[in-house]
Structure 1
Amino acid sequence: MPQVGFGDDPRRVVATDLSHRFGETSFLFVGLNFTLVPNEVYALTGPSGSGKSTLLSLLAGWSEPTSGTLSRQNVDKISWIFQNPHGVAGRTAEDHVALPLLARGRTHEDARAEARVRLARVGLSRVSGSPFRELSGGEAQRLMLARGLAAEPDLLLVDEPTAQLDSRTAATVNDAIAAVAGQGSIVVVATHDPRTRAACTGVIDLAAQ
């Protein structure tokens, strides 16, 4: 399980002997131990039914584990990117990324400038002025990554970002996932795609249970 140096950043998520099941059913996972820290992107992998979505819910604080502990230390702001990208049809890609920056008090000019930088990091400079309704599936997923990170969450959860994409489009999303490492957040990506797993810097493998 992931164990990396903490540096000077006090934020971390620590699982100790984490286990979960629903009612009297079989355990989805037993005795998970891991430590997650900022500037890393962790692939959460395992076959269907292994508990990936459930573990995301535990990480988000939406559910409590059956046993063990999950400690979020200095992790206050959590964002979640779901499988199906949602945006405002007529708003541009730049609008979507600028909005969370404006909400944090940035000036309009600064928010726009930073939005363009963040879009460039995920390969979307070409479509920064395009409305959401004109984006391809892969472009919309990359936009969600840029927007999610613009909110500067302590923990960003991403659920199966390439599940509904063809291989070429998925590759562009995986490149974007690799690019978000080092941008300040703890990022966890639930995925069944080995190429997405390879794009991440660490792995939580529920199949190893």
Structure 2
Amino acid sequence: MNDEICVDVRDLGQRFGTMPFLWRHVTFSVRRGQTIALCGRSGCGKSTLLSIVAGWFSPTEGEVRRPDKARVSWVFQNPYGAVYRTVLDIAAYPLITRGWRRAEADAEALRVLAEFGLDELRDRLFAELSGGEAQRLMLVRAINSKPDILLVDEPTAQLDSKTALVVDDKLVALAGRGAAVLIATHDRRTRESCDRVIDLDTYSVEEGGGDEAT
């Protein structure tokens, strides 16, 4: 595994206006090949932390460092897309923007769609997908963008247990190919599939194997 640090979070704190801090002094790093789960109660700021890591806004305290040219992909909990584009168009788009020929991009997109059980929906419009189907499609699109850093918000929230296991396996596999994967989740199985778990309620960190340190 490449030991390059892709996400370096240092002494992070966040609050909005005069509200109490969601959390303070949050420090961790994510290396290439690692999967990290962000856990905690609803409203504890998991999605907020992902947004800060993505660079969408600055934290109240602390800083986040990423390699200058790192490719960052995000998968939202409630996915949205080009409603009148087909599943295949959306899955192939990141490859086409990276210079792939259309036929090659379609073939690769179909291969990844099949891994997520979506290849038979290739001609369906995004607007016609269920929530779980749309979420899986956004994961396919993110994977096809070949990210250095993948940020995922509740990837299994709308999925049945069998499909959720497939998604967990694919996220681990993506990390195995060199991505740094940071996942906000309530799902125990997703949490158990990750290398480390950060609990934003208590700011405890579980290393692989379940040993906990503060």
Do these two structures clear the TM 0.5 threshold for a shared fold by scoring above it?
Answer: yes
- Stretches of structure 2 lacking an aligned partner (at least 5 in a row): 204-214
The verdict on how the C-alpha distance between 1:61 and 1:89 changes in structure 2, with shifts beyond 3 A counting, is: closer
Structure 1 residue 96 and structure 2 residue 87: aligned? no
Q: Residue 82 of structure 1 aligns with which residue? A: 76
- Corresponding residue for residue 147 of structure 2: 153
For residues 81-136 of structure 1, what are the alpha-carbon distances to aligned partners after superposition, in whole Å with 9 as ceiling and x for unaligned? 22222233443322211111111110112101111122123232333343334433
- Asked whether the equivalents of residues 118 and 146 of structure 1 are also in contact (C-alpha less than 8 Å), the reply is yes
Q: Which amino acid aligns with 1:115?
A: A
Alignment of 1:2-81 (within 5 A): 7-8=1-2, 10-74=4-68, 76-81=70-75
Quick one: which of 165, 171, 191 aligns to 1:197?
191
- Does 195-204 or 141-150 show the bigger shift? 195-204
3-state SS in 2 of match to 1:181: helix
Kindly provide the amino acid, as one letter, of the partner of residue 105 in structure 1: G
Alpha-carbon displacement from aligned partner over 1:141-199 (angstroms, at most 9, x marks no partner) = 11110101211222222222344x3x62x641442132122323222221223233234
- The DSSP-based 3-state class of the residue aligned with 1:207 is coil
Counterpart position of 1:3: none
- Map of 1:181 onto structure 2: 172
- Contact 2:8/2:65 (CA < 8 Å) preserved in 1? yes
Offset at residue 62 of structure 1 (A): 1.8
Taking only aligned residues, the RMSD between alpha carbons, in angstroms, comes to 2.4
Higher deviation after alignment, 192-201 or 45-54: 192-201
Seen in structure 2, the aligned counterparts of structure 1 residues 81 and 19 have a Cα distance that, compared at 3 Å, is: same
Q: Which amino acid aligns with 2:62?
A: G
* TM score, norm. by length of structure 1: 0.82
In structure 1, runs of 5+ residues without a counterpart are 1-6
What is the match of residue 131 of structure 1? 125
Rounded to whole Å, the distance in 2 between the matches of 1:128 and 1:201 is 33
Change beyond 3 A, Cα 1:201–1:125:
farther
Q: Residue 180 of structure 1 aligns to which amino acid in structure 2?
A: L
Cα gap change, 1:8 to 1:198, in 2 (>3 Å): closer
